[in-house]
Every structure is written in C-alpha cells, then in structure tokens.
C-alpha cells in the first residue's frame, strides 16, 4: 500500500536561512509525487510535482524538490526562507490508476525573524 512519511512535525528556521523538508514514500512503481502548502484558513496550494524525467523539479515561490528513487525520498528545499513561507507543508503520492492522493502528516514551518 502507498504511504507517505514526513518525519518532522515542526521545523523552525531563521528568515534567510535555507530549508529542507523531508518526505519519504512507499510505493511499488514510479510514483507521482507532490508538495502542497496550506496556510491557515486557505486551501492547499500545489508547490510542485514530479511525474517523470528530470529528478530535480522546480516549483513556485522558489521551491524545488529532488526525487531520489534509491532513498524513496522527495525532499523539498528552498535556499532562502521568507517569513511568508511559514505554513503547513504536505507531501503526497498518487497512483496513475486511481488518481487518489495519499498525504503525509505534514510539517509545520515556523520562521524566526
């Protein structure tokens, strides 16, 4: 069965510092991988996705993620965090057969001024 693990419940970084949010997945075939961001009172917004091809994908708001099949990981990175990046981040995996998304438990990002 598909599953997604985000091992960090909370992460605090200083504004301007780099960021990496971890995501590990379990899936038999090549997965469809996503990162979403959720701000309070708002819907989930897609940051980026990986289907195939180049394993380093660029997203919106300066985020990028790297698919590493050997590690079953899809970590999200940003070189310099802004205070507005404070939010909840979800990693998700999907299959091509059902189009369902399986979400990780989320990581809450706090940004120190």
Looking at 25, 36, 67, 74, which residue binds another protein (CB under 8 A)? Answer: 36
Q: Taking contact as CB under 8 A, which single stretch among the options 12-20, 38-46, 62-70, 76-84 is the one that binds another protein? A: 38-46
Residue 16 C-alpha from the chain's centroid: 19
From the list 18-26, 53-61, 71-79, 93-101, the region that binds another protein by CB under 8 A is: 93-101
60-67 contacts at long range (C-beta below 8 A, 24 or more positions apart) = 61/37, 61/85, 63/35, 65/23, 65/33, 65/35, 67/33
Binding site for another protein (CB under 8 A): 4, 9, 32, 34, 36, 41-46, 49, 51, 90, 94, 99-106
């Amino acid at each position: 069965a598909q599953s997604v693990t985000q091992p960090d419940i909370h992460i605090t970084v200083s504004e301007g510092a780099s960021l990496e949010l971890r995501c590990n997945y379990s899936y038999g075939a090549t997965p469809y991988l996503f990162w979403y961001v959720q701000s309070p009172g708002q819907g989930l917004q897609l940051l980026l996705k990986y289907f195939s091809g180049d394993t380093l994908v660029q997203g919106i708001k300066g985020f990028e993620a790297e698919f590493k099949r050997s590690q079953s990981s899809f970590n999200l990175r940003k070189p310099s965090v802004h205070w507005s990046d404070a939010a909840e981040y979800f990693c998700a995996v999907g299959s091509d057969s059902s189009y369902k998304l399986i979400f990780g438990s989320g990581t809450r990002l706090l940004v120190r001024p």
